[in-house]
Amino acid sequence: MCRHLLPSLHRPGIAVLAIASLAALACDPTSAVDLAITGVTLVDPASGEVAEGRTVIVSDGVVRSVLAADEELPAGVRELVDGSGRYLVPGLWDMHTHLDSHTDTDLAMLVVHGVLNVRDMGGDPFVLADLKARIAAGEIVGPGIRGAGAILEDRQWLRRARRVFPELEHRLPVDNPEEARASVALLARWGADLVKVRNLTDRRTLAGIVGVAREHGLTVGGHEPMIVDIDEAAAIGMTTFEHLPFVSLTMPGREADEARLEEATVRLLESGAYVTPTLIASRKLGWSREERAAAIERPDERYAYLPESVRAAWVESLAGDAGPLPWGAMYEASLGMALTMHEAGVPLLAGTDMGVPLTFPGSSLHDELGYLVDDLGLTPLEALRTATSAPAALFGAAEGSIAPRLTANLVLLDADPLADIGNTRSIHAVVLRGELLTRAELDETLAWVREHKDDPPGPAPFERLAASCRDDATPGCLERLADYHFSKNDFAAARAGYAEALEAGAGDPSREGLFASVLNLVWDESVDCAEVEAPAAGLLAERVGDPGRTVGLLDRLLPARGDGCPELLTIGA
């Protein structure tokens, strides 16, 4: 291996590379690094098979072979790990996270806890792209990330939400198929691996999102749409559904509607949909103010690894009451729905909603596995599948099992996870994309996290992008800056940015961005009619977009404004 190239733990100026063992991942990925884990018991969640006394050979980031006890090791194995009495499982996935508010130390904590892949379900697309790039370059250590970026929301819902939460951002308003096409294309250009939807109220819009997403090779997941029942949404083409209980399957008292549940379960199974219960998040919703305060104050060693700013934000967020909803009954309904769907064969996914209060990076995934067993009634094997083989199957990823030619994301445990799901915490070593991290090295990482968790963050992706564009104002760079403003829902800055990019020679993406920015300004009640009249007229005069299309969209958008902007309705007439 290439650990002789690694920096010292205390060498100045290398905060993000501070742990020598983890910085090994910055070595040349093409170099042959062979690892053999000998005499280990393999646990295959997909098949349920348990194979004792196996030796797993890893080279170049993948499993090369799995040998029986009587087979000889190949020549050239450089590192041996004694797996006798231990259990090897595929790397874990957290299938519902929000990473854009988290730090480099949080990413390290995911790896320490064996969470080697995550699905990010909405946030700043530029932060996600930056994290992916830095992990790939070896600058920081973290899991594989598959992310949605900005979330697609119903336009009217988003208007109401912003009256209460004006800081709400990284949400793209869509309320018709044409906007769906433009928004999904934008997400794909920003590097999305999937599309997340929330609070949609129009069937045609959802169908449009699914259709365009398929053109870009993306799946669509998210919350149960507001007006489309979950089973109809699955039939339209949504692939994953987040957070139980599903409103369309509950009675007025929030208990499960058994007849609707059985009907919907059949359709979910037929459509091949997946469900992410996020029990760890929903079980906390019914806590009283006193219970919330107690949870924050309760001694928990995990706070030692959590930035103080995050804990302070949790305290503020949990200061209020749970609200009038019958959360206890809703959690019971969640369990009933999840169990019915699981028993019918609908695959469940383990997710924590990391980013919400009291979900700790990495360790909370093990909490979720415990709730799936203790509260829901899954067997340890079934729970393990929700965090290994099921996520891999959803993404068509070459992992989730331990077999030749699969990615070597592995977790070596000191105790049998099939005897007690809590044994997934007994991590002896981790293999991350083929690189071994021993228990001693993982402990060094924990010490580094404690020391650096409150370090000030480096320049944000936007700040670095803006600096680079000042030095080299190419059309592509200017367009990227405008994209960032658009993702933050600063449509005035986005409009100006796209216009500047077009003047510099940018093409159709900036043209479409300008079109979408102006239309969003027209929709924004906080912008005076007089301020949007000229930009809207400019769409037609400069033929940015199709004139007929522009007039049609204006006709739909303007009546939704409180003032109506009647003078704009005459544009293009």
Task: Yes or no: say if 95 and 63 are a contact pair by the CB < 8 Å rule.
Answer: no
pLDDT digits (tens, 9 = 90+) for 235-292: 999 999 999 888 888 766 667 788 899 999 999 999 999 999 999 988 877 677 777 7
CA–CA dist 329, 343 (Å, integer): 21
Ramachandran quadrant class, 114 (left: phi over 0; alpha: psi -120 to 50; beta: rest)? left
Closest CA to 388 of 147, 43, 22: 43
What interhelical angle do 547-557 and 177-189 show, nearest 10? Answer: 110
pLDDT at position 465: 81
CA distances from 391 to 73, 158, 342, 373, 401 (A): 32, 30, 15, 18, 11
Q: Which residues of the chain have pLDDT under 50?
A: 1-33, 571-573
Task: Yes or no: say if 367 and 361 are a contact pair by the CB < 8 Å rule.
Answer: no
pLDDT at position 291: 78
Residues facing 498 on adjacent strands: none
pLDDT at position 557: 54
Which spans in 430-560 are helix H?
439-452, 461-471, 475-487, 491-503, 508-523, 529-541, 547-557
Task: Yes or no: say if 221 and 233 are a contact pair by the CB < 8 Å rule.
Answer: no
Task: Yes or no: say if 150 and 190 are a contact pair by the CB < 8 Å rule.
Answer: yes
Closest CA to 69 of 85, 87, 86, 53: 53
Identity of residue 196: K
CA–CA dist 220, 148 (Å, integer): 9
Identity of residue 96: H
Closest CA to 552 of 515, 502, 498: 515
Task: Yes or no: say if 531 and 502 are a contact pair by the CB < 8 Å rule.
Answer: no
Burial label for 496, CB within 10 Å (0-12, 13-18, 19+), is middle
Task: Yes or no: say if 236 and 203 are a contact pair by the CB < 8 Å rule.
Answer: yes
pLDDT at position 317: 79
Question: Under DSSP, is residue 96 helix (H, G, I), strand (E, B) or coil?
Answer: strand
Task: Yes or no: say if 176 and 219 are a contact pair by the CB < 8 Å rule.
Answer: no
